């Protein structure tokens, strides 16, 4: 159960949620959150479900139900999981096994014609991001500057800056996107 507390704390920190704020959201005391994270107390099933919901994960991930990326580092192409889609036609796919202790998440972003990264790549992450264009052309708006990326070009930036990635190719574009969630 000690690892469960570590997973909860790590996930909370990745999402930049204070223990007191998490406690208020799920209707418990900050002291209980602290005790759970230090394996001094164990949450009820109901509290565990509320924790998972607030931490945007599943109960199974918090309790260590699935093997970690350390035990199972390969994710075959047929195992790539759809993560998110926006209204402009951009879709993301997770390229690694999920683990709340990971410090980075690799994604493939598939941009349909004229699609952009709105609602997918947001500036509220305290970490860093790396992008590599595998197909098409991408325009990057970072703060007040603009850049054009072609196949084979890469782009590295601090996540909390305002940014927008847009497909400017006549067809679809694809980009590898790696997010350092923890800011390490």
Residue 71 within any structural domain of the chain = no
Partner residues linked to 176 by β-bridges: 108, 132
- Please state, rounded to an integer, the average pLDDT across all residues of the chain: 89
**142 sits in which H/E element:** strand 138-142
Is residue 87 in some structural domain?
Answer: yes
Find the domain containing 44 and state its range: 2-63
d(CA 10, CA 125): 15
Query: What pLDDT does 82 receive?
Result: 87
Mean pLDDT for 81-108 is: 87
Within a domain: 72: no
Residues 92 and 126 in one domain: yes
Band of pLDDT at residue 107, cut at 50, 70 and 90: very high
pLDDT at 184 over 50: no
Q: What is the pLDDT of residues 39-80, one digit of tens each?
A: 999 899 999 999 999 999 888 888 876 555 556 677 788 888
Beta strands in the chain (DSSP E): 81-85, 90-94, 104-111, 128-135, 138-142, 145-149, 154-158, 163-167, 173-180
The pLDDT of residue 88 is above 70:
yes
Which of 31, 3, 27 has its CA nearest to residue 19? Answer: 31
Is residue 87 located within the same domain as residue 125? yes
The SS3 of residue 77 is: helix
Only one residue has tokens 């990057």, namely 140
């Amino acid at each position: 159960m000690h690892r469960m507390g570590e997973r909860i704390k790590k996930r909370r920190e990745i999402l930049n949620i204070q223990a007191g704020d998490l406690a208020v959201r799920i209707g418990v005391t900050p002291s209980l959150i602290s005790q759970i994270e230090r394996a001094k107390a164990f949450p009820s099933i109901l509290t565990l479900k509320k924790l998972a919901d607030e931490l945007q994960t599943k109960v199974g991930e918090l309790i260590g139900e699935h093997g970690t990326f350390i035990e199972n580092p390969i994710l075959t192409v047929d195992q790539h999981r759809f993560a998110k889609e926006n209204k402009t036609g951009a879709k993301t796919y997770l390229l690694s096994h999920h683990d709340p202790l990971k410090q980075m998440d690799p994604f493939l972003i598939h941009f349909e014609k004229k699609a952009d990264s709105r609602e997918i790549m947001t500036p509220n992450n305290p970490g860093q991001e790396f992008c590599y264009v595998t197909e098409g052309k991408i325009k990057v708006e970072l703060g007040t500057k603009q850049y054009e990326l072609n196949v084979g070009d890469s782009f590295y930036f601090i996540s909390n800056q305002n940014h927008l990635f847009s497909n400017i190719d006549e067809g679809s574009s694809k980009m590898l996107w790696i997010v350092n969630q923890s800011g390490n």
